[in-house]
Amino acid sequence: MSTPLKAPRVIVCDDLHPAALEQFQAHGIEAEVCTGMDEAALIQAVPGANALVVRSATKITRPVLEAAGDLVVVGRAGVGVDNVDVAAATERGVVVMNTPTGNTTTTGELAIALLCSLARHVPQADRSTRGGNWKKKKLMGTEITGKVLGVIGLGRIGRVVAQRAMGLSMEVVAYDPYLSKAGLSKTGTEGGLEGIELLELDDLLQRSDFVSLHVPLTDETRGLLGAERLALMKDGARLINCARGGLVDEAALAIALDEGRLAGAALDVLEQEPPPEDHPLLDRENVILTPHLGASSHEAQRNVAVDVAEQIATFLEDDVARNAVNAPALPANMRRELAPYLLLAERMGSYLAQRMDQPIRKVEFTLAGEVANKDQVGALRLGFLVALLQRSMEGSVNFVNAPMLASERNMRILEDSEGSAGNYTNLIKARVSSQDGHETHVVSGTVFGNGPRFVRVDDLFVDLLPKGHLLLTRHTDQPGVLGQIGTLLGEESVNVSRVELGPHGAEREGQATAFFSLYDTPSEEAIERVRGLDAVHSARHIDLGA
């Protein structure tokens, strides 16, 4: 146990439930409440601060972190940490923690409430009655007893929804590509999830009377339910989305509702919030829209406030980090020493998660050189595993729950160490494979100065900065191809900062691979245009973070 900080300085940057301040006081901490600060004001306020507490309004940027020389922890009262520059915090050895369980029940119950409201036309009936009408025939509903609910994503919230639905005598089927039947069986008894049948996504859509989404928004899940998949849904089915806007093609959903193929939809989230006045779903009677109420309950707001205060106080007193999204509970000096290697491990996990097309079933993680002899090297493996899982999961993955989540997804995790790192002082190598090894990808990396580098990707030896947006192409090895790709990206207003090429083995003679480091996020249209070039065999966008 490390020596507790003397009179730690904690700044609460956003409005929190008063219970948070009471929790701090119980630990002898007088937190300062300074809300509504922009970046400039934060930079002036943070010197000398040991902890910052935020919700979603305040942004903790790299300049803010650089100004906070004594900062050791940032706590987010909620799940998402999009408003915190986690990479910059990791580089400086600052722990970022969230409160992933405080709003689980609230969000799951909202999905059930919207399901019931869809089934019985509750909002439409309310509007009609208030308008002076008393017409029941046009508001004929449907029972949910015996109906099939398809849950897409069996994370924390998805499981709450499944459990509540079974309590309402619904039949529940689920799709989660990262959860095996063995993994579901393992958790089913304790979680009250016996009887759930795992299906492929298309099969779930064809079978379900109601479909409820509970997955994160990633490059892989954006537009998950587009026109083609919406067309697979049963005639008269109803859709609920309390997860993230962007999972559903809203224009395609409007068409499906217009054509009468779907009976209704209830959305708590939209791709643009608030929606524009001409949004195609605003004027439809068979659509329920709510203003992102997933975590909006008195209980949830109190829970996340108490959780974040308790977590920060425990960390400041005992150096134990619960629900850390970027670092385990290590002594401060160890966190700073391992910070660049932890960032490297995270970028490797993120890259491989986006590189694989099939679910990962085997992970081999190897440390070589001096880093293999350091204490707490398990932190690097956990950092890699968290990033690997986070790309495909709803909610929080952290250093505490990552091994359990990997086990549920039937992943074998193998760890090894080697004394020699070859031409490098230190080297981290990771290999991931699908079932029976049908798909395998490898990445190796090291730290130059204080910055991570990829030095091998599959059979290519590279010097690649794992940061920002990458466009990975496989193309015919002939003059002019890189120029064609660069010109096309320029036409799409995507600026290229660097191109990295690597030599291929003999088995790929005539082919080449390029990594285009981009300043901007490439649109799907731009990527499709690259794929459409005659010499290009494949193109893939990979987002490695700021």
Instruction: Using the predicted structure, report yes or no on whether residue 4 has a pLDDT greater than 50.
Output: no
Looking up tokens 């398990």 gives 378
Same domain, 387 and 484: no
Annotated catalytic residue, options 159, 164, 244, 347: 244
What distance in Å separates the CA atoms of residue 396 and residue 386, rounded to the nearest whole number? 9
Residues 173 and 322 in one domain: no
Q: Find the domain containing 313 and state its range.
A: 1-100+296-326
The residue-averaged pLDDT of 94-119 equals 92
pLDDT of 299-349, one tens digit each? 989 999 999 999 999 988 877 778 888 765 555 566 677 788 889 999 999
Average pLDDT over residues 486-494: 88
pLDDT of residue 352: 95
CATH assignment of the domain containing 246:
3.40.50.720
Q: Please check whether residues 344 and 411 belong to one and the same domain.
A: yes
CATH of residue 340's domain is 3.30.1330.90
Looking up residue 492, the CATH number of its domain turns out to be: 3.30.70.260
Q: pLDDT at position 159, please?
A: 93
What are 63-78's pLDDT values in tens digits?
Answer: 999 999 899 899 999 8
Tell me: the pLDDT tens digits for 517-532? Answer: 998 888 888 999 999 9
Claim: this prediction has a pTM higher than 0.75: no
pLDDT at position 29 over 50: yes
Task: Look at residues 289, 317, 350 and tell me which one is the last residue of a structural domain.
Answer: 289
Same domain, 34 and 111: no
Considering only residues 543 and 103, tell me which one the structure prediction assigns the higher pLDDT.
543
Q: Is 244 a catalytic residue?
A: yes
Tokens encoding 45: 């306020």
CA distances from 184 to 175, 392, 398, 498 (A): 11, 17, 20, 44
The tens digit of pLDDT for each residue in 222-261 reads 899 999 999 999 999 999 999 989 999 999 999 999 999 9
Residue 506 banded pLDDT, cuts 50, 70, 90: very low
What are the tens digits of pLDDT across the range 363-409?
A: 999 988 888 876 567 788 888 998 898 877 765 576 656 777 788 78
Shared-domain flag, residues 412 and 361: yes
Assess whether pLDDT exceeds 90 at residue 219: no
Average pLDDT, integer, range 31-45: 94
pLDDT band at 189 (very low <50, low <70, confident <90, very high): very low
Shared domain for 159 and 251, answered yes or no, is: yes
**pLDDT for residue 23 is more than 90:** yes
Residue 537 has pLDDT above 70, yes or no: yes
179 and 260 co-located in one domain:
yes
Whether pLDDT at 101 is above 50:
yes
Single residue among 411, 444, 466 that ends a domain in this structure: 466
Helix, strand and coil content of the chain, in percent to the nearest 5, comes to: 35, 25, 40
Note the pLDDT of residue 398: 67
Is the domain of 431 the same as that of 488? no
How many CB atoms neighbour CB 295 within 10 A?
Answer: 21
Same domain, 405 and 530: no
Catalytic residue (choose from 130, 190, 259, 273): 273
Structure tokens at 60: 């903790």
Are residues 347 and 448 both part of a single domain? yes
If asked whether residues 395 and 303 sit together in one domain, one would say no
Non-local (6+) Cβ contacts of 434 within 8 A are 356, 358, 359, 360, 361, 440
pLDDT bracket for residue 510 (50, 70, 90): confident
Q: Are residues 459 and 513 in the same domain?
A: no
Per-residue confidence at 184, pLDDT binned at 50, 70, 90?
low
What one-letter code names the amino acid at 204? L
pLDDT(92) > 90 = no
197 is catalytic: no
Encode 324-355: b = buried (16+ Cβ within 10 Å), e = exposed. Answer: bbbbbbbeeebbebbbbbbbbbbbbbbbbbbb
**Annotation says 130 is catalytic:** no
Least confident residue range of 161-165, 180-184, 478-482: 180-184
Tell which wins on pLDDT, 426 or 373: 426
Q: How many domains does the chain have?
A: 4
Given the residues 120, 222, 284, 292, select the one marked as catalytic: 292
The residue that leads in pLDDT, 282 or 333, is: 282
Amino acid at 349: G
Predicted local distance difference test score (pLDDT) of residue 424: 83
pLDDT at 9 over 70: yes
pLDDT (0 to 100) of residue 214: 93
44-55 tens-digit pLDDT: 999 999 999 998
